[in-house]
């Protein structure tokens, strides 16, 4: 679509009021109707009881989550990226997960990105009307430069957000992989997508507050998507987060302990090894286990596309 063909970039799309009372996430929870009459501990127990329903709901979606991970991994291996698109809590959770990737797994900042209705200011202050703009959803995808090698996850716990619906439709038209995440059993995207993830978490403790169970389910699923994708693309060795660089005190301590765990070296020797490896944890481990130089370790990692396990197993 050319610049002239794109919908006008406007925040004032005509709004059609939709009756969302049928949506499960909007219904009144029969188990919490008198929550305001309870004491503090009783309220906490009620919330905890409802939260306990989240993990089983996610488990029922494990196959769909696995399909979504494979789609994301395919994008990463083909030089593509992962985009989260959402409004309100959903958008903020996408941005949170994306922002945690560089410090956690040493990814480039652009590998995982979050798009929120209303832009950057909506991260810190509610811009609720932004979610009603379909043209903004479309334009956000073009502004982000989404390509056909990328994967886009549309997050709409209720499943009806126009901004997200339009964004997913545009991403699909571009040829990107598309995933739709909703917590309602009866809503669906406006266009066919590759994967739908639908954890049915039920009515919220406080009617309509989808920042609670639905938000918790979203956070857990996003964590699972990226963590599993990072494991499958070689950024984890065993259950150790080896793809990190010692750039501050906490990460230096963590790097030293990981090198010690894998190699059996003392902290003092592990520290010296990391210095020679310019802070690269995987590089340091390879240098010691294969008795090679920093340059050779980096070359070996490059050939194995960053996988420490593959670099070690291919050694002859």
Which sequence positions are flagged as catalytic?
Answer: 100, 131
Tokens of 315: 């050694």
d(CA 221, CA 280): 29
Could you tell me which residues come within 8 angstroms of residue 294 by beta carbon, excluding any fewer than 6 positions away?
Answer: 276, 277, 278, 283, 287
d(CA 287, CA 167): 46
| Residue 110, CA distances (Å) to 80, 144, 204, 266 in order | 10, 10, 34, 36
Q: Report residue 83: phi and psi, to 5°.
A: -120, 135
d(CA 28, CA 170): 34
d(CA 306, CA 312): 11
Residue 296: how many other CB atoms lie within 10 Å: 14
With beta carbons less than 8 A apart as the criterion, state whether 150 and 80 touch: yes
With beta carbons less than 8 A apart as the criterion, state whether 90 and 117 touch: no
């Amino acid at each position: 679509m050319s610049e002239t063909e794109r919908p006008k970039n406007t925040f004032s799309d005509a709004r059609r009021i939709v009756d969302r009372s049928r949506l499960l996430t909007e219904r009144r929870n029969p188990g919490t109707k008198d929550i305001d009459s309870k004491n503090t501990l009783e309220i906490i127990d009620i919330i905890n009881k409802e939260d306990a329903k989240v993990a089983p709901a996610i488990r029922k979606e494990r196959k769909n989550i696995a399909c979504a991970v494979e789609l994301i991994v395919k994008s990463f291996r083909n030089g593509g990226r992962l985009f989260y698109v959402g409004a309100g809590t959903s958008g903020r959770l996408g941005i949170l997960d994306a922002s945690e990737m560089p410090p956690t797994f040493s990814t480039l900042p652009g590998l995982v990105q979050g798009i929120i209705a209303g832009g950057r200011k909506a991260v810190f202050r509610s811009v609720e009307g932004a979610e009603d703009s379909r043209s903004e959803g479309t334009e956000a995808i073009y502004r982000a430069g989404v390509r056909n090698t990328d994967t886009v996850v549309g997050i709409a716990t209720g499943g009806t957000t126009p901004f997200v619906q339009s964004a997913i439709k545009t991403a699909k038209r571009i040829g990107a992989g598309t995933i739709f995440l909703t917590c309602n059993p009866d809503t669906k995207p406006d266009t066919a997508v590759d994967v739908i993830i639908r954890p049915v978490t039920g009515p919220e403790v406080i009617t309509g507050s989808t920042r609670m169970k639905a938000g918790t389910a979203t956070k857990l699923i996003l964590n699972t998507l990226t963590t599993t994708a990072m494991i499958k693309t070689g950024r984890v060795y065993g259950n150790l987060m080896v793809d990190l660089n010692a750039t501050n005190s906490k990460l230096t301590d963590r790097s030293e302990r990981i090198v010690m765990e894998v190699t059996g070296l003392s902290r003092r020797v592990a520290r010296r090894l990391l210095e020679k490896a310019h802070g690269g944890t995987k590089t340091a481990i390879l240098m010691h286990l294969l008795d090679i130089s920093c340059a050779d370790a980096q070359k070996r990692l490059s050939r194995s596309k960053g996988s420490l396990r593959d670099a070690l197993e291919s050694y002859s």
